[in-house]
Each structure stands twice: as structure tokens, then as C-alpha cells.
Structure 1
Amino acid sequence: MRSRPFGRSGRSVGEIGFGAWAIGDAWGRVDDDEAVAALHAALDAGVDFIDTADVYGDGHSERLIARVLKERGGARPFVATKAGRRLPQQTVAGYSEENLNAFIDRSLRNLDTDSLDLVQLHCPPTDLYYHPEAFERMERLVEQGKIRQYGVSVERVEEALKAIEYPGVVSVQIVFNMFRLRPAERLFRQAQERGVAIIARVPLASGLLSGKFTHDTRFENTDHRQFNRHGEAFDVGETFSGVPYEVGLAAVERIRPLVSGDATMAQLALRWILMFDAVTVVIPGARNPRQALANVAAADLPPLSDEVMEAVARIYEEDIKRYVHARW
């Protein structure tokens, strides 16, 4: 696995990580034994970056990660978590020192560690980025040794651009995939100039870019691809990247001919993200060992040709841009 510098943190991580939302909740039924096996398979294959959050299964994802790391022993991978979405309502006032300390203490217990590698403010309200005191509170958590570094997980490019003005922000996590190109236009260059790591989430557009879904695909009621189609539970951009399902299916059929050799469409989508030097790590999810190993194998694909990159950009311009570009 090739590694990339994690911004100015002084650490490097493998370019394919493990996104642990799907082993927590909101993706249908979770089989803990399969989830644990997926984590072991990913780590055995060289993955050294895991991304989770305190709200994924109300801490279940964090606790599964702690279980696997205890079983393995030895050096721990880089584990990033998030804080803030436990608030009953998203307000700037909710990101108080008292609340942040409570969130961090809970994640420390869940992950069974004395200090958290990275804590990301978890898609807070836009106005928070204009309150320096919130970031000063994160600095104090670093000084106390509870966290080593902090970053942000954002919905919108504009939020990321404001966040990286704060010198302590070492990373930005943002939706970036073949259906969400705007970060490459507005954010990536500035992030590189400031030494900020980019964590690319929702890399397969909630599975659309796997090429496995059809008009007849049905999702469980506990799966956000069913209950958040119109943003009923959280930002609709987290579900199918905000692209209407039928529109996404049609665009996928235009992308499908770009897949070559033994690669899968999902691997093509992951390799496409890795073509952007500003991206530090991409975090596809996996709920079983087969998915985990397939994700890792995407890093072994050769660089994509200019023709493929241009074709993806053309499909975005013609089919997708009008639905997402101005919103996120």
C-alpha cells in the first residue's frame, strides 16, 4: 500500500483506509462477526487508517474497532473519530467546552485508549466556523493530551475553506467522488498550500458507483439509502452524494464502459479519487472481508488515462453537475 503524508501532522497513512460508518449503523443490519473479520482483513492487507464517529451505532463502531485492536495487539493504526453529532440539536452553543469534553471522554472509553489520534468536528453548523473559541477549545484538548490532533468533517466546500484558516486544523474530511467534483476545483490547492490532509468520504456515492444497483434494488428501512433519500434524517448529500437515484443510475451506465481489465467499477471509482494528489486517504466502507480486500486492491490499479479522466468530467458536466455543484 502506498502511503501519503497526512498533511503537516508528521505522519503518513496508506492511501486506502477503512470507513467504519457501515459497521456501526444506518446501512441495514450489521453482523458484528463479519464486521470484525472485515477490519482484520483490511489491517492484514496493510490498511493503517480507520475512520469512525461517536454516533455510528451510538458508539458501536468505536467499540468494535477497540475489540479488533485489542485482539491484534502491537502497534495501533491511525484511528480518527468525530464529535458533535450527539447533540440533540445542532447549534454553535452546543459545542461548549463541557460538551466537547464529555464527547471526547466517551470516545476515549469506547476506543479503549488514553489519547485519540484525531478528532474531527462532525459536520457542525456552518456558523461554527466563524467562532474561533470553538477551535480554541480543541486546542485545549490537545494541550490536555486527550487528543493528539483535530480536524473537521464538512458538508460544503465553503465550510472547508473557512476551517483551514485555523492553524490547528490538520485535516478536512469531505464528500469527493465521480459525482462530487467541486472540492477539486475550490479546495484542494489551498489545502495543499496550507499542509492540510484531505480525507475523501462517500467515495462510491453510497454504493451507486459500485455499479451493482438497479431500478429494482430495495434497501432496508434501517438503511439511510432508504430513509434519507430527501434529507429526512441528515444532510441529503450523504446519501447517493445528493444525486437523485434514477439520475445516478443513468450516469453509472455511462461510466461502466470505462472499466477495463479485471477491475470492478467500485475499484475504478476509488482509483479515480487517488489520481488527485491533494487527497491523503480515501475511506470506503466494508462490512465483510471480501469488500475490504477489494477496496485495498484498488490501490494496485495503474494510473487512469487522460481519456478516462476526461470522460468522467464530461459525464459529471452533462448529467450530474446541475444537481450538486451549487449545493455542496
Structure 2
Amino acid sequence: MNYRKLGKTNFEVSEIALGTWQVGGKWGSPFNDKTADELLNTAIDKGINFIDTADVYENGLSETAVGRVVRSRSERIYVATKCGRHINPHVNEGYQPQVLQKYIEDSLKRLKLDTIDLIQLHCPPTEVFYRPEIFELFDKLKKEGKIQNLGVSVEKVEEGLKAIEFPNVTTVQIIFNLFRQRPSELFFKEAKKKNVGIIARVPLASGLLTGKFSEKSIFDSKDHRFFNREGAAFDKGETFSGINYELGLIAVNKLKELFPEVLNLAPLALQWILSFNEVSCIIPGASTESHVLSNLSTLDLPLLTPEKIAAMNEVYEHYIKKEVHHLW
């Protein structure tokens, strides 16, 4: 495993980490504690030391599983969780310091940890990033020992740029992958100036970049890849990076032509992200141990050549950029 510094936290984190949106069950299927424990332990066994979760993942069951496994291990595992998405309706006015503090205290109870290494605002409405009193809350919680660091998860580059104006923001979690390249322009440069860690989320475009889907693929009705393609439940950009599914398949087929001998594109897509030194870590999700091992196989590959990277970028330029680049 390779490790990189996570911005101002000074944590040395595994460059391939673990996102737990679907830990313990695929999207749309029931949560399974045994599967969750096996998956999390496998990740730690392989050198992963940064685990990202959220209070809304499986309505707290993901946090509970993460806390249970982390407490059972002797290694130093950094736990990041998120708060705010329980607010309903999810609007600016719902974000109040006392509301967020209650969510954080509830997360601590589920995790059964003394402190949270990294608490992140969970994709709040854009207006929240213009309210200093929200960010001041986390200085208070840090003094109380409930948290160690504050980060944000964002939908838009604009939100990330605004967030890092607050000096207590140590990390930004942002969608970044081969089909979502805009953050690598201005945002990466500004984050680096301020020593803000960058956590790349949705690195495989909801699985699209694995190359395993086709026109015949069927998603469960409770799977966001079925019901949220047009943003019916939350930001459209969370599902297939906001790309029209059929167009995405065309672009993926072009990627397959670049790597005709490769059956699983996921490790190559992750390696493309790691070619950016500004990225602190990637948090691909996993619902099985095999997914964890697939993600980690990235580290065993020869480095992508500049020519291959350029060819991958050309697929984005030709098929994807005009559809999504300006939106997030």
C-alpha cells in the first residue's frame, strides 16, 4: 500500500481507501453485518487505513459496523463520517448548529469511539457554504474533543472553492473520475495552495467505469442507479457522474478499445485518478471482498503511460465533456 498526506490533518492515509455507502449490501439490498465485517477486515488486512462512512448510510448501520471493526483492530484506522443529510427537507434553513451537533453526537454513539477523526458536512445546499456560524460550530466541537478535523463533501467545484476559504476546513471530498474531470483545473490548484486534502469520491462513476455494464444490465428498483438517473432523489451527478447511461456505455466501449486485453477497467480508472498528486486518497465503494481486492489490484499494475492517459482523456473530451463539464 502507498500512503499520502491528507492535507492539514497530517494523517498519512492509504491512497486507496474505502467508501462504505454500500458496505454490507449492494444498493437496494438488505444490510448484512457478516458481509460488512468481512469486507472491512479484508480492507484493513490489505493496508487500508482510512474508512469513509455517513450517518445516513443504511440509516446508521454502516457507522455501527465501521466502529465495531475499528475497535476490534490494533492498527491506527482513521474514521471519517458525515452529517447533514438527515435534514428533511434538505434545505439551507434546516442547517442549524444545534441540529448538526446532535447528529455528530449520535454518530459518536453508533461508532462507540472517543472522537471522530474527520467529520464532514454531507453535500449541504450551496447557501450553507456562505454561513460562518455553521463552520464555527466545529471549532467548538474540536475543543470539546468530539472531533479532530472538519471536512466537507461537495457536489460542485464552486462549493469546494468556497469551503476552503474557512481555515478550519481540512479536506474536501469531491466527485472526480475519468468522466468528471473539472475539479483538476482550478480547484486542485487552490486546494493545494491551502494544504487542503482532496478525497476523490464516486471514482468509478457508480460502477460505469468498471466496464461491466451493458444495455441489458438491470438495477434493483431501490438502487439509485435505477431511480436517480434524472436526479429524482438527490443530485443527478451522484449517479453515473450525471452522464446519460447510454452515452456512458459508448464512452466505456471506446476505453475498452484502448485496453483490449483488460476485462475489468476499474483498476485503470483508479490509477488514472492517482496520477494526480493533489489527490490524497480515493474512496471506491465495495459490497463484497472481491470488490475491495479489485480496487487494490490497481497498485499491482504498471503505471499508465502518458500516451495511454492522453488517449483516455481524449475519450472524455470527445464523448463526455460537453455533456457534464459545465454542470458541476
Which TM-score band (shorter chain)?
over 0.9
| 2:111 aligned partner | 111
Bigger drift between 125-134 and 268-277 goes to 125-134
Residues 291 and 136 (structure 1), Cα distance of their counterparts in 2 relative to 1, 3 Å cut: same
Bigger drift between 19-28 and 146-155 goes to 19-28
1:9 CA drift (Å)? 1.4
1:25 CA drift (Å)? 6.8
Residues 8 and 261 (structure 1), Cα distance of their counterparts in 2 relative to 1, 3 Å cut: farther
| 1:69 aligned partner | 70
Bigger drift between 268-277 and 92-101 goes to 92-101
Q: Distance in 2 between matches of 1:26 and 1:151?
A: 26
The alignment status of 1:95 with 2:95, answered yes or no, reads yes
Q: What secondary structure does 2:317 align onto?
A: helix
- Measured against aligned partners, the alpha-carbon deviations of 1:144-193 in whole angstroms (never above 9, x if no partner) come to 11100001000000100111111110000000001000000121111111
1:76 CA drift (Å)? 3.8
The alignment status of 1:257 with 2:275, answered yes or no, reads no
1:263 CA drift (Å)? 7.5
Question: Is contact 1:26–1:224 with CA below 8 Å preserved after alignment?
Answer: no
Question: Is contact 2:13–2:49 with CA below 8 Å preserved after alignment?
Answer: yes
Q: What secondary structure does 1:147 align onto?
A: coil
| 1:211 aligned partner | 211
1:55 CA drift (Å)? 0.4
Q: Distance in 1 between matches of 2:24 and 2:237?
A: 19
Q: Distance in 1 between matches of 2:76 and 2:86?
A: 26
Bigger drift between 246-255 and 289-298 goes to 289-298
Letter in 2 for 1:34: T
1:11 CA drift (Å)? 1.4
1:52 CA drift (Å)? 0.5
Residues 263 and 280 (structure 1), Cα distance of their counterparts in 2 relative to 1, 3 Å cut: farther
Residues 202 and 58 (structure 1), Cα distance of their counterparts in 2 relative to 1, 3 Å cut: same
Q: What secondary structure does 1:256 align onto?
A: helix
Residues 124 and 303 (structure 1), Cα distance of their counterparts in 2 relative to 1, 3 Å cut: same
Aligned residues, how many? 327
1:258 CA drift (Å)? 2.9
Q: Distance in 1 between matches of 2:212 and 2:124?
A: 32
Question: Is contact 1:97–1:137 with CA below 8 Å preserved after alignment?
Answer: yes
Q: What secondary structure does 2:247 align onto?
A: helix
Q: Distance in 1 between matches of 2:260 and 2:272?
A: 13
1:303 CA drift (Å)? 2.0
Q: Which runs of 5+ in 1 are unaligned?
A: none
Correspondence 1:159-178 to 2 at 5 A: 159-178=159-178
Question: Is contact 2:49–2:78 with CA below 8 Å preserved after alignment?
Answer: yes
Residues 216 and 261 (structure 1), Cα distance of their counterparts in 2 relative to 1, 3 Å cut: closer
Q: Distance in 2 between matches of 1:25 and 1:95?
A: 30
Residues 162 and 31 (structure 1), Cα distance of their counterparts in 2 relative to 1, 3 Å cut: same
1:259 CA drift (Å)? 3.0
Correspondence 1:124-273 to 2 at 5 A: 124-259=124-259, 264-273=264-273
Give TM-score, length-normalised by structure 1: 0.96
- Measured against aligned partners, the alpha-carbon deviations of 1:213-265 in whole angstroms (never above 9, x if no partner) come to 00010001111001111111100100000000000000000111333766731
User: Over aligned residue pairs, what C-alpha RMSD do you find?
Assistant: 1.5
The alignment status of 1:123 with 2:127, answered yes or no, reads no
Q: What secondary structure does 1:8 align onto?
A: helix
1:12 CA drift (Å)? 0.8
| 1:36 aligned partner | 37
Letter in 2 for 1:33: K
1:24 CA drift (Å)? 6.2
Question: Is contact 2:175–2:200 with CA below 8 Å preserved after alignment?
Answer: yes
Q: Distance in 1 between matches of 2:263 and 2:214?
A: 20
- Measured against aligned partners, the alpha-carbon deviations of 1:71-90 in whole angstroms (never above 9, x if no partner) come to x3323411100000000122
Residues 64 and 142 (structure 1), Cα distance of their counterparts in 2 relative to 1, 3 Å cut: same
Structure with bigger RCO (C-alpha 8 Å, 6+ apart)? 1
1:95 CA drift (Å)? 2.0
Q: What secondary structure does 1:314 align onto?
A: helix
Question: Is contact 2:171–2:199 with CA below 8 Å preserved after alignment?
Answer: yes
Bigger drift between 61-70 and 44-53 goes to 61-70
Give TM-score, length-normalised by structure 2: 0.96
Q: What secondary structure does 2:172 align onto?
A: strand
- Measured against aligned partners, the alpha-carbon deviations of 1:2-47 in whole angstroms (never above 9, x if no partner) come to 1001102121101000010012677121433222211111110000
Runs of at least 4 residues off by over 4 Å: 260-263
Q: Distance in 2 between matches of 1:247 and 1:24?
A: 30
Letter in 2 for 1:119: I
| 1:280 aligned partner | 280
| 1:19 aligned partner | 19
Question: Is contact 1:201–1:284 with CA below 8 Å preserved after alignment?
Answer: yes
| 1:318 aligned partner | 318
